[in-house]
A and B are shown apart, each in its own frame.
Chain A
Amino acid sequence: MVGLSEGEQEFIKGGIAQDLRSDGRKRYTYRPIYVETGVIPQANGSARVRMGSTDVIASVKAELGRPSAMQPDKGKVAIFVDCSPTAEPTFEGRGGEELSAELSSALQHCLLGGKSGAGAGIDLSSLVVVEGKVCWDLYIDGLVISSDGNLLDALGAAIKAALSNTGIPSVHVAAEAASDEQPEVDISDEEFLQFDTSGVPVITTLTKVGKHYIVDATLEEESQMSSAVSISINRQGHICGMIKRGGVGLDPSVILDMISVANFVSRQLMDKLDSEIAAADADEDES
């Protein structure tokens, strides 16, 4: 973890109060974002997102499975995050597990909705092949390669980019089998269906330092936070999930204010991300 002297801590806090952070950014300015898609050819979809020195990879793998009995009309999505020791020597062995678990569960909250799968940022009903019998299981894996703060937003952006890059093979279902049997399916090698990502939200984390909050905090700034609120918002301006971290309590009115700030900031992030994803996809097609 970063250790900062009192003078440095003061300097960071003062910079946030004066709206001029250590690298010259304003409170609501992001570091430059770079997106690369198709980095893992073996996966159905993948993307690498870099924000400053933070570097993450997300991959999507689709496997055929059976929908759960509770939701026969929905596919399943699982999100796992791993923190590679390349990012931080303390992640060695089991050292990164706690952070990995925290990030995985935060992403599940922000993208997958509740247990019932209702209100999920990812459209689960589009994953069903035969209702109650066959569906796609999406395994989303995130990997942190280099870490300099704001991992959750970066992972969220990488997952969004990976999903937009995902091709799910089209499936031909053989003639109707008996109702209690598993139908025979034929997976096409050539035809792929693009995944509809228009509804996938972006995650915006507002880190509260002092009485102000900032976006895209670096590791040093994160060490000074009193609390942080991560809000996932989709194109329509709907909140798809939210999570608060940090020990210090927040005034409810502050949270409402944070939401309106997040709404504004996430719109910019979404536009930026969409244009980056489009550029990355074009790059990949070229090569």
Chain B
Amino acid sequence: MEFVSPEGLRLDGRRPTEMRQLRAEIGNVAKADGSAVFEMGNTKVIAAVYGPREVQNKSQQMSDQALVRCEYSMANFSTGDRMRKPKGDRRSTEISLVIRQTMEACILTHLMPRSQIDIFVQVLQADGGTRSACINAATLALQDAGIPMRDIVTSCSAGYLNSTPLLDLNYVEDSAGGPDVTVGILPTLDKVTLLQMDAKLPTNTFEDVMQLAIEGCIAREYQAVGMPPGFMIDSHGKGIRSYNYVPDRYKVAKMQGLLNGNVYSNPTLVS
């Protein structure tokens, strides 16, 4: 099957290094300490954070750091074909673990000893790249909950089909059987915290694909709410090239709530 047309366009009309439209929203679950919805194209996930709070199961309490837990679940209607899987199948367990390890690495757990942080991620729609979407949503929710972190984590995936590295695979491209590299990075610290790949790939091609995924992550860091589609990344040269470049370093959290919340409750203004 042809995934990249001779004109260099993919099945959904994107260029190889173009990612899907991003959208994020904060504070959807009233009762949670922090929550966020993250969408990329048709993939849509919601994350809620509860805590830090008293450890529910005393035997798991740690005297020097916080306990981080994570559960990933998929809605029955999230996939194209309706499925009804029991909770806790192997795939969800594996993704829960990946999210937990990734988030645990960036949360400053030692600041909240003897407490527990729960991250719940619910996939509403799956169209490829759920892993990345979940990590991005969890990061936003943790920021919303005011939990101290070393750095934010951003995640993105890239693949290699028709001898072309492709950024941000959708479901059709993902199920084509090519390699799929999921990367999570800490953008300020410039460190990779998550790297997963299946299928085989020559080493030098892998370098290209991974580089693309990393730059996808960096670009995500530059994302804004409702940013117009057509955000482009140059896969070879360093830096970001786009016809809709967002000049300021905006992050979703900054865009919403937090900024406003500060302004209105500024102590110097209260008479």
Check whether chain A touches chain B (CB < 8 angstroms).
yes
Residues of chain B contacted by A43 (CB below 8 angstroms): 77
Q: Is the CB of B120 within 8 A of A148?
A: no
Q: Give the CA-CA distance A86 to B77 in the complex, in Å.
A: 17
Q: Is the CB of B82 within 8 A of A82?
A: no
Chain A, Cβ-Cβ closest to B86: A94
CB distance from A206 to the nearest CB of B (A): 24
Q: Is the CB of B30 within 8 A of A146?
A: yes
Q: Is the CB of A40 within 8 A of B124?
A: yes
Q: Mark B67-84, 1 if CB is under 8 A from A, else 0.
A: 000010101111110101
Residues of chain A contacted by B124 (CB below 8 angstroms): 39-40, 57, 143
Q: Mark B89-114, 1 if CB is under 8 A from A, else 0.
A: 00000000000000000000000000
Q: Mark B5-38, 1 if CB is under 8 A from A, else 0.
A: 0000000000000000000000011111001000
Question: Which residues of B does A touch, CB under 8 Å?
Answer: 28-32, 35, 42, 44, 46-48, 50, 56, 71, 73, 75-80, 82, 84, 87-88, 118, 120, 122, 124-125, 127
Q: Is the CB of A141 within 8 A of B120?
A: no
* Residue from A42, A53, A85, A89 in contact with B73 in the complex, judged by beta carbons closer than 8 Å: A85
Residues of chain A contacted by B30 (CB below 8 angstroms): 53, 146, 148
13 intermolecular pairs with C-beta atoms under 8 Å apart:
A43-B77, A53-B30, A63-B82, A84-B46, A86-B120, A89-B56, A94-B87, A94-B88, A139-B77, A141-B76, A141-B77, A141-B82, A143-B76
Q: Mark A96-115, 1 if CB is under 8 A from B, else 0.
A: 01000000000000000000
Q: Is the CB of B31 within 8 A of A146?
A: yes
Q: Contacts A41-B42, A42-B42, A92-B118 given: A146-B28 contact, CB under 8 Å?
A: yes
CB distance from A76 to the nearest CB of B (A): 13
Shortest beta-carbon contacts, A-B, top 3: A86-B48, A59-B77, A53-B30
Q: Is the CB of A55 within 8 A of B118?
A: no
Q: Is the CB of B31 within 8 A of A53?
A: yes
Q: Contacts A63-B82, A139-B82 given: A40-B76 contact, CB under 8 Å?
A: no
Chain B, Cβ-Cβ closest to A137: B82
Question: Which residues of A does B touch, CB under 8 Å?
Answer: 39-43, 46, 53, 55, 57, 59, 61, 63, 80, 82, 84-89, 92-94, 97, 139, 141, 143, 145-148
Q: Give the CA-CA distance A53 to B29 in the complex, in Å.
A: 8
Q: Give the CA-CA distance A53 to B31 in the complex, in Å.
A: 8
Q: Is the CB of A86 within 8 A of B125?
A: no
Q: Is the CB of B77 within 8 A of A87?
A: no
Q: Is the CB of A40 within 8 A of B87?
A: no
Q: Is the CB of B118 within 8 A of A89?
A: yes
17 other A-B residue contacts (CB within 8 Å) besides A40-B44, A93-B88: A40-B77, A41-B42, A42-B42, A42-B77, A42-B127, A57-B75, A59-B75, A63-B82, A84-B122, A85-B71, A85-B73, A86-B122, A89-B118, A92-B118, A139-B76, A141-B77, A146-B29
